[in-house]
A and B are shown apart, each in its own frame.
Chain A
Amino acid sequence: MKRFFRVYKILFLMNLSVLTAHRGAFINHLISGTVWGIFSFIVMILLTYNVRSIYSWSKQDILLLNGILGIILGLFNTFFQANFDNFPNLVNKGKLDSFLLKPMDAQVLLGIWHTKVVSLSRALIGFIFIFYICIHYQISISWTGVLLSIPVVILGIGLYYSIWLFVTTLTIWFDRATNIVELLHSLQGIMRIPPVAFRELNLVLFLVVLPLTIVAATPVGLFLGRFDFGGLALLTTVSFVCLLLSRKFWLLALRSYTSASS
């Protein structure tokens, strides 16, 4: 564990050095992240403009869901996104080799290689949006629930991580489909909408979208002091199962890795 933190500390500092070496790119990423963060809330405001509720979810609940999602995505983008975005390129150009030959778990090393500190702006916007929603709609939140939602948010991030790992691992077989990361970005739309919206789908499709729908939806209830033990149990189970399965899938895929020639 100590070794992991030592390696992570060095990588974090190296990433900071790279960031500060290119000021223009830093400002560009900061603006881009902020703009997209704000845009995601504009989308929800537009979608809920003519809407009062979806079944048991009120307009405020839906907006709060998106605020929490903003925090989750901000944190995920900071710690993992750049690594997943780069993964198809690593496979396509045979650059995965140097990760596989280091005496450290390649999945872990790949996961922590890049840290994009500027993406914390998106998490910050999420916080601001939640604050605004609470004041505008006079929502009272449960502080116990907020504290309890921290581990739940971490579970949600773990689940989202495993989904990304599943899909990007596919590029080991389909190395030309480097645009698969764009597909996953677009699936973020599923996470913005309450899970009840998908109950009209048939069972198979519902089970496919279920992991994404519960990433951000589960902490919402906790925020508002509504303790849904069933939802928590579901998120915990699905997270652990997906993390385990994605790990197995990754190890299986490595047997088919062909290491593109230089």
Chain B
Amino acid sequence: MPIISVDHLSKHYQVHKKEPGFIGSLKSLVARKYETVKAVDDISFSIEEGEVIGFIGPNGAGKTTTLKCLSGLLYPTKGKLSVMDFTPFDRKHPFLRQISLVMGQKNQLWWDLPAMDTFLLNKEIYQIPTKRFSDVVDDLSVRLSVQDILHVPVRKLSLGQRMKMELIAALLHSPKVLFLDEPTIGLDVVMQKTIREFLKEYNEAYNATIILTSHYMGDVEALCKRVVVINFGHILYDGLLSDLVKEHAPYKIIKVIFSEVVEEKKLNEYGETKSYVFPEWEVRVKHKDANDAASSILKHLPVEDITIENPQIEDVIAGFFVANKKEVK
């Protein structure tokens, strides 16, 4: 029985359109024209307990809208939603006690007070028993290495430290379902890695179901086996990330460093040259031909160094979007 079930979900907004210029402004004063924007349009999927799913798509694709519908913030225009057998928009307290929504740019910590004060407030709101509260705070603060700054006013913390405190505040009540909207946005690479490792550990330790949206493919690669690709409010792909890569990037990249100059036209017989600036050469070859191509290059060309790599996930996804471009109706 899936823990999350989405059945033909749609969310439409009315957006006002104004003609340009002063006359357009005067016209809109009296009679405004509205257009329906289909942020999410007839999507269906289900998620099992304990899964970590990545929602990927460009800006305006409908990722955050889907998350907000699932958490109960938005009232769906059409469709049925079920999260842990609850209808999210009813926002029943037993439902809210089991979910958490973390948005990278929005915060719940009180700016002038230490994070611990907000934790204590959440303890009362979520009715967390004192012993469990202490255990969770101790556990999470050690995992995120913030034990020493729990009593420092939030305004004095760095962005990365604040994000860690936001995560703790969101996880105090040990939610079964976690919705994360761009959790690593604006963080440096070290902090991003820390957050990813933490989320992975949290998922393993608590068997929490995690739905994550992110523009950083590093987040998705590190955490998610399964991805849902969404654009213009439609699901374009729902399956394993590895299958997506195999299907839409049936090639490998061979990187070569030459010891001597080689004519460019000589290189074309080995594959599709991505770039060649002596001494570095990048060539794209089909998956199945990668080993043979590499041997041939080593045999016939003055090679100093050679590596075979998979394509960047970002490139794969970008290519996938281009191939599946749909016009907005």
Contact = CB atoms under 8 A, between A and B. Distances in A.
B124 A7 contact: yes
B121 A100 contact: no
A100 B106 contact: no
Nearest to B185: A262
B246 interface: no
Interface residues of A, number: 28
A50 interface: no
B70 to A, nearest CB: 11
A101 to B, nearest CB: 6
B54 interface: no
Contacts of B68: 97, 259
Contacts of A109: 125
Contacts of B75: 254-257
A13 B152 CA distance: 17
A143 B167 CA distance: 55
Interface stretch (B90-98, B257-265, B282-290, B303-311): B90-98
A259 B65 CA distance: 9
Interface string B66-97: 00100111110000000000000101011011
B64 A257 contact: no
Interface in A183-229: none
A14 B121 contact: yes
A6 interface: yes
A150 B110 CA distance: 34
B99 interface: yes
B104 interface: yes
Nearest to A100: B73
B126 A103 contact: yes
Scoring B75, B101, B125 by chain A CB atoms within 10 A of each residue's CB, the highest score goes to B125
B103 interface: yes
Contact of B113 (A7, A14, A255, A259): A14
Contacts of A138: none
Contact of A257 (B73, B97, B124): B73
Given A7-B125, A257-B73, A262 B96 contact: no
Contacts of B127: 3, 103
A109 B100 CA distance: 17
Contacts of B99: 101
B13 A18 contact: no
Interface string A77-118: 000000000000000001101101111100001000000000
A21 interface: yes
Nearest to B117: A14
Contacts of A97: 68, 73, 101, 103, 106
A19 to B, nearest CB: 9
A235 to B, nearest CB: 33
Nearest to B96: A103
Nearest to A93: B106
A22 interface: yes
Interface string A1-45: 001001100110010011001100000000000000000000000
B101 to A, nearest CB: 6
Contacts of A10: 120-121, 124
Given A21-B112, A22-B112, A262-B105, A103 B124 contact: no
B125 A257 contact: no
A140 interface: no
A56 interface: no
A237 interface: no
B276 to A, nearest CB: 43
A262 B103 contact: yes
Given A7-B124, A14-B117, A17-B117, A101 B112 contact: no
5 contacts: A7-B121, A7-B124, A21-B153, A98-B106, A104-B93
A-B pairs with the 10 shortest C-beta distances? Answer: A262-B105, A103-B93, A103-B96, A255-B75, A98-B108, A103-B97, A7-B124, A18-B112, A6-B124, A21-B112
Interface of A: 3, 6-7, 10-11, 14, 17-18, 21-22, 94-95, 97-98, 100-104, 109, 254-259, 261-262
Interface of B: 13, 64, 68, 71-75, 89, 91, 93-94, 96-97, 99-101, 103-106, 108, 110, 112-113, 117, 120-121, 124-127, 153, 181-182
